[in-house]
Amino acid sequence: MIGVAQFPSGMHPYVDATIVKGYLLGFAQRPVTSFDRDWKLACLLCTDVPTLENGLAQPEGNGAGGQGLAVTLRLKPGLAWGDGVPVTAHDVVFTWMQATDPHSAFSDPRAWLNVRGVDVVNEHTAVLHLKQATFDYNQWGPLLPAHIEAGAARSAYNDRPTEPGLYDGPYVIAEYRLGERIVLERNPHWHGPAPSIPRIVIRAIENTASLQANLLSGDIDMAAENVGLTLDQVLALRRQSPERFTYLFRPSLGYEHINLNLANPILADVRVRRALLLAIDRAAIDTKLFEGLQPVAATWVNPLEPNYSGDVPTYGYDPDRARALLAQAGWQPDEDGIRRNGAGDPLSLTFTTTAGNRQRELVQQVLQSQWRAVGIDVVIRNELARTLFGETLRKRKYTGLAMYTYIGEVVGSLRSSLSSTMIPSEANGWVGGNSMGFADPAMDADIAALETELDPAKQKRLSADMQRIYAEQLPALPLFFRAEAAVLPTWLHGVALTGHSGYSPRWAEFWRAD
């Protein structure tokens, strides 16, 4: 029985991508390739990771006078969906066709959109013809079951999430109660090592204090990483009961930040954005709440990553400079301490995060107080995670600030989050993760260049420029790099935190109980 503090808005792997959905689907569905716990790219559904060195990726013309790439995917023999139907190269073709359908609402179809055609060599082999050679040419997500989804008016992931044919992992979803729980049972057609745990129940307790109480009472056995207890709760629990549980910690690529809706005239002024960051003492929050385990972030790029650049503007705690910037932007203090502009409008912003997350709500209150000290009025309006991610952020319904975590791959693209082409709107079916509405031509150019650059040194230079632009423009406020923390029963073994978006359940077949 695993406790999580969020519940996904649906189970489709490519729509409304969230951390909790990635965690849950790790038990039941596998991507073609994934970074492992050692941050090495590995095959989960394929036999060999395609590379230029092993010949499974080869340069070719792209049919338009440019240079493309032919990538061969060889699926493992014996792959099957949960209903026994084989996983084949035809599922590769179907996934590509779905991703390129403008009505599919895929959160990030970039990789599949780069495919100009797919050749089916045989049932287990498909050749993807890429329009351009991209840095992540051998990173491919999960496949969709053509025998279930083809021709359907609505996706079975939304209408029938307990359909076993949707899943190709070691478990299938046997029960699905929206907002309450998901029951996973062993997939009888799983091709890999048989999982030793026959049944796993994911129970949603959307209040982390209640989740902790359920853990202590024995009503749940385990608190998941990233979507379970907050780091401060795990640290406190370890101090109180060091022998009762197994505690796992790992630095991660989790980037805790605050998105800013740049359509708000107040936040459209970069001086206000910089003042917001200068007015908060992130280092003190890390020390007091997280025992120094969550270092302050300058951008989304973690110092653990190969493309990290330290040559960017930084913003330490400087409330006096924050006040000066606000004054320059035309916001002067009034008698009540709240700043107002020349028209008498107050400097007031709404602040949203996941309701029931004790750690976030505590940080939120500290930030609210520190912003008040420089004359910024912040009104807290929190929402359940499935509402925040499924509706509010996706449709840009928040008007001010929204705090959450982004966890990327070890090597990934930021097109979905930072490209001006990925600003969600009604016109594009609310596709894209750029809920800030950030549009910068230099950033767009860097993203496009980075995606087609195979030289690591040039990649690093392009990434460094992206980090500089981000730190100067501040479309979001960087807070911390999160440490993953999980609480396990002492009888459970084989669980390993990864520190990236390939969460521990992707290797659940190796979990075992005494």
Give residue-wise pLDDT tens across range 121-166. 999 999 999 999 999 999 999 999 999 999 888 999 999 999 999 9
Q: How many C-beta atoms surround the C-beta of residue 287 within 10 A?
A: 13
Q: How many C-beta atoms surround the C-beta of residue 349 within 10 A?
A: 20
Q: How many C-beta atoms surround the C-beta of residue 438 within 10 A?
A: 23
Q: Tell whether the model's pLDDT for residue 74 goes beyond 80.
A: yes
What does the alpha-carbon distance between residue 410 and residue 290 come to, in Å, rounded to a whole number? 24
Task: Please tell me the pTM assigned to this model.
Answer: 0.83
Q: Tell me the pLDDT band of 431, cut-offs 50, 70 and 90.
A: confident
AA identity, residue 241: S
CA atoms within 13 A on the CB side of 165: 14
What tokens were used for 153? 């008016």
For the purposes of burial, counting CB atoms within 10 Å of the CB of 372, is it exposed (0-12), middle (13-18) or buried (19 or more)?
Answer: middle
Q: What is the mean pLDDT of residues 224-229?
A: 94
CATH of domain 43-144: 3.90.76.10
Which pLDDT score is estimated for 509?
Answer: 97
Which residues have CB under 8 Å from 291's CB, separation 6+?
A: 235
What residues form DSSP beta bridges with 296?
480
- Mean pLDDT score of the chain, rounded to an integer? 95
Q: What is the mean pLDDT of residues 309-321?
A: 96
What does the alpha-carbon distance between residue 332 and residue 346 come to, in Å, rounded to a whole number? 9
Q: How many C-beta atoms surround the C-beta of residue 454 within 10 A?
A: 12
Cα dist from 502 to 103, 292, 484, whole Å? 27, 25, 12
Class of domain 253-483: alpha beta
AA identity, residue 289: L
Which pLDDT score is estimated for 358?
Answer: 84
Cα dist from 323 to 157, 261, 272, 332, 365, whole Å? 50, 21, 10, 9, 20
Q: Are 431 and 105 in contact (CB under 8 A)?
A: yes
Domain boundaries in the chain? 43-144, 253-483
Q: Tell whether the model's pLDDT for residue 514 goes beyond 80.
A: yes
Helix boundaries (H) for 52-207: 89-99, 110-113, 146-149, 156-159
What does the alpha-carbon distance between residue 139 and residue 42 come to, in Å, rounded to a whole number? 9
Q: Tell me the pLDDT band of 411, cut-offs 50, 70 and 90.
A: confident
pLDDT in tens, 229-239: 999 999 999 99
Which pLDDT score is estimated for 108?
Answer: 81
Q: Tell me the pLDDT band of 416, cut-offs 50, 70 and 90.
A: confident
What does the alpha-carbon distance between residue 331 and residue 356 come to, in Å, rounded to a whole number? 33
What does the alpha-carbon distance between residue 159 and residue 162 come to, in Å, rounded to a whole number? 9
For 322, the enclosing helix (H) or strand (E) is helix 319-328
